[in-house]
Structure 1
Amino acid sequence: MSCILISGGFGYIGSHTATLLSEKNQKYVIVDNFSNCKREIVDKIRTITKNKVCFYDCDIRDNKNLIKIINENKVTSVIHFAALKSVSESIVNPLEYYEVNVNGTISLLKAMQLTGVKKFLFSSSAAVYGEPDFCPIDESHILKPLNPYAQTKIIIENILKDIYKAEKNWSVACLRYFNPIGAHKSGLIGDDPLSGKNANLMPEIIKVVRGIKDYLEVFGDDYPTPDGTGIRDYIHIMDLAEAHYKALNFIDKKNGINFFNIGTGKGVSVLELKKAFENVSGLNVPIKISKRREGDCAACFANPKKANDILKWSAKYDLNQMCESSWKFVNRNSK
């Protein structure tokens, strides 16, 4: 039976993908150093899947340990989530981002090369497009990163292109995610980063409704958008997990390197998302307008046609369902 190694499998996207793979009877092993997730996530995945969770507490830069893990578990493909992911943090501390994201990926790829594993699914980002020239964005859009985080994703994509040029028996898919939000239907797992590690919009809204913060900080209300706030393509986390399952099936059958936008194709502003959450929860989310953040763009949403056509994947959940699942996660995990 094939075994999938999931790096960063206890993070937000990794944990939801792991639950879906379990549902599809796929065998996997998780490698994570718990740098941005709580250890209780292991028990939560075990509760959801009703299965033992095979994992190693390991940094992806530990090449020797990775080789041992791949061999011990007879790994046949890799989904690579493990990375630092805060745009603002990457601007302040670029060296750490290059060290973890780029060197970490090289370590993982070397381990794969030495063990003969050639199927690789990479967690990239719509951040590679920077301030878009047009929306919806397709995969041919020029890449022009606005921050070191996005730059690390482009460097890794280029490394993967070069590996495929050198060794044609690799099968690689790079999924350029837009903005995942929402939570698992159980309400047990959701976007729950360690304090201060990133500032995604939904976790910030959740901090306000939990009373951890007094207001939601909105960075910029002077963008050239209908309400002045930034527009993004929000995608339900389980739709994103499904995209990984479909992409795994794709790389299993076909050598090459492919890039896919994973989004709904619809743009939603910060204030629209806030209002949708208020409608679902019945709560008021107070806001404070701050100046724009460095490295943010006005609008960014996907043209997901390539993923629709080639991976046979499309987003199924709407904005209300994203907010409902997030609200369920808040209620189930409030202390």
Structure 2
Amino acid sequence: MKILVTGGLGFIGSHTVVELQNKGFEVVIVDNLSNASIDVLDGISNITGKKPILEILDLREKADVQSFFKKHTDIAGVVHFAASKAVGESVENPLLYYENNINALVYLLQELQQLEEVCFIFSSSCTVYGQAEIMPIRENAPIQKALSPYGNTKQIGEEIIQDVSKVSSIKAVLLRYFNPIGAHESAEIGELPLGVPQNLVPFITQTAIGLRKELSVFGNDYPTPDGTAIRDYIHVVDLAKAHVVALQRLLDKKNIEKVEVFNIGTGKGSSVLEVIKTFENVNNIQLPYKIVGRREGDITEAYANTDRAFNVLGWKPEFTLEEALLSAWKWEQKIKNQ
């Protein structure tokens, strides 16, 4: 069964390709290499023993998307990761985010709605909740006004999929996930940000390895126990497996609704300082860091209520924060020694 993974050379995408291939799926990756390295293909192959098909194209080019589906007529499912994903960058360059995250989704769905049946997994985000009023966050929490263009593109993306599903054969699962971290245990693939990292853990590992002078902690005046922002950090392999479980649910026709929504997280919130201290403890490293001003678009806290994912989807995370941070450090050391 052939599965299209857009953005399949990226952080979450590459780990999901591994899990799909481990389950026997044939995978076709579409990636424009704007935020990924083609070397990731070798990492996937080394883990699974099989190299997925790679089509290098930009989903913002409508004609290229049309050509892809003329070539690959037997796509049974799509896992859609291809999107820009940094909150801070989206505030600074909103039009890039609206073009990349919305146009690409529309062109993809225009082709998929012509197929007899297709299963669609959408890489959504807890940012759709904005600053939720009640913790932990349930799937039926009110969708607040997005605090960043990135968050807004995820809200709009979900609405587009809901609308298209009503007039087509597309079945979808929207996975609203929290903060993915870590790397594959083999250290063959992991998070590989181009330029200055936008996420906490790669900034931590790059500081620990000496690529960055010090770590910036954005704000220590949040109404939290230690003043730093709280997030739900989930191991990327756990997250990847959730995509496979969700896809299998649709393929097996076990979905109850045309579009289903699941939070994917650990259900536990950790502050920025807690993550730093945990990294220091498990890896026996001291990190230089400084407190700087809050970053626009950031919220105070977000962590998941995962009951629905556990009970309906049948998925549970297996890795701890400590294990995720150990794997992230192992990956960073592997990169340096290459």
Which TM bucket (shorter chain)?
over 0.9
Q: Would the aligned equivalents of 2:221 and 2:228 in 1 still touch at CA under 8 Å?
A: yes
Q: 2:287 aligns with which of 285, 288, 303?
A: 285
Aligned to 2:16: 17
Letter in 2 for 1:322: A
Q: CA deviation at 1:186?
A: 0.3
Q: 1:329 aligns with which of 328, 331, 334?
A: 331
Structure 1 SS opposite 2:114: helix
Letter in 2 for 1:102: I
Aligned to 1:306: 308
Aligned to 2:108: 108
Aligned to 1:232: 231
User: Size of the alignment, in residue pairs?
Assistant: 332
Letter in 1 for 2:198: A
Aligned to 1:166: 167
Separation in structure 1 between the aligned mates of residue 287 and residue 235 of structure 2, nearest angstrom: 21
For 1:272-319, what per-residue CA distance to the aligned partner results, in whole angstroms no more than 9, with x for missing partners? 111111112111111110011111111100001111111100111111
Separation in structure 2 between the aligned mates of residue 199 and residue 3 of structure 1, nearest angstrom: 33
Separation in structure 2 between the aligned mates of residue 333 and residue 91 of structure 1, nearest angstrom: 30
Alignment of 1:1-335 (within 5 A): 2-73=1-72, 74-144=74-144, 145-167=146-168, 169-196=169-196, 198-252=197-251, 253=253, 254=255, 256-335=258-337
Q: CA deviation at 1:187?
A: 0.8
Q: Would the aligned equivalents of 1:4 and 1:79 in 2 still touch at CA under 8 Å?
A: yes
TM-score, scaled relative to structure 1: 0.96
Q: Would the aligned equivalents of 1:41 and 1:189 in 2 still touch at CA under 8 Å?
A: yes
Structure 2 SS opposite 1:289: strand
For 1:31-79, what per-residue CA distance to the aligned partner results, in whole angstroms no more than 9, with x for missing partners? 0000001221111111111112211001112333333333433111110
Letter in 2 for 1:113: Q
Separation in structure 2 between the aligned mates of residue 178 and residue 282 of structure 1, nearest angstrom: 27
Worse overlay, 125-134 or 108-117: 108-117
Percent of aligned pairs with the same residue?
Answer: 44
Which blocks of at least 5 consecutive residues in structure 2 are unaligned?
none
Worse overlay, 106-115 or 312-321: 106-115
For 1:221-245, what per-residue CA distance to the aligned partner results, in whole angstroms no more than 9, with x for missing partners? 1111111111000000010011001
Q: CA deviation at 1:166?
A: 2.1
Q: CA deviation at 1:117?
A: 4.6
Separation in structure 2 between the aligned mates of residue 55 and residue 249 of structure 1, nearest angstrom: 22
Q: CA deviation at 1:101?
A: 0.3
Structure 1 SS opposite 2:113: helix
Separation in structure 1 between the aligned mates of residue 294 and residue 320 of structure 2, nearest angstrom: 27
Q: Would the aligned equivalents of 1:63 and 1:110 in 2 still touch at CA under 8 Å?
A: no
Separation in structure 2 between the aligned mates of residue 70 and residue 181 of structure 1, nearest angstrom: 33
Separation in structure 2 between the aligned mates of residue 71 and residue 215 of structure 1, nearest angstrom: 49
Separation in structure 1 between the aligned mates of residue 299 and residue 306 of structure 2, nearest angstrom: 20
For 1:141-163, what per-residue CA distance to the aligned partner results, in whole angstroms no more than 9, with x for missing partners? 11121110000001111111111
Structure 2 SS opposite 1:250: helix
Letter in 2 for 1:175: L
Structure 2 SS opposite 1:28: strand
For 1:143-201, what per-residue CA distance to the aligned partner results, in whole angstroms no more than 9, with x for missing partners? 1211100000011111111112223x3211000010000100101111111113x4100
Q: Would the aligned equivalents of 1:75 and 1:117 in 2 still touch at CA under 8 Å?
A: no
TM-score, scaled relative to structure 2: 0.95
Structure 2 SS opposite 1:76: strand
Separation in structure 2 between the aligned mates of residue 221 and residue 137 of structure 1, nearest angstrom: 23
Q: Would the aligned equivalents of 1:38 and 1:194 in 2 still touch at CA under 8 Å?
A: no
Structure 1 SS opposite 2:216: strand
Q: CA deviation at 1:210?
A: 1.6
Structure 1 SS opposite 2:27: strand
Structure 1 SS opposite 2:223: coil
Separation in structure 2 between the aligned mates of residue 210 and residue 201 of structure 1, nearest angstrom: 14
Worse overlay, 22-31 or 116-125: 116-125
Separation in structure 2 between the aligned mates of residue 155 and residue 130 of structure 1, nearest angstrom: 13
Structure 2 SS opposite 1:283: coil
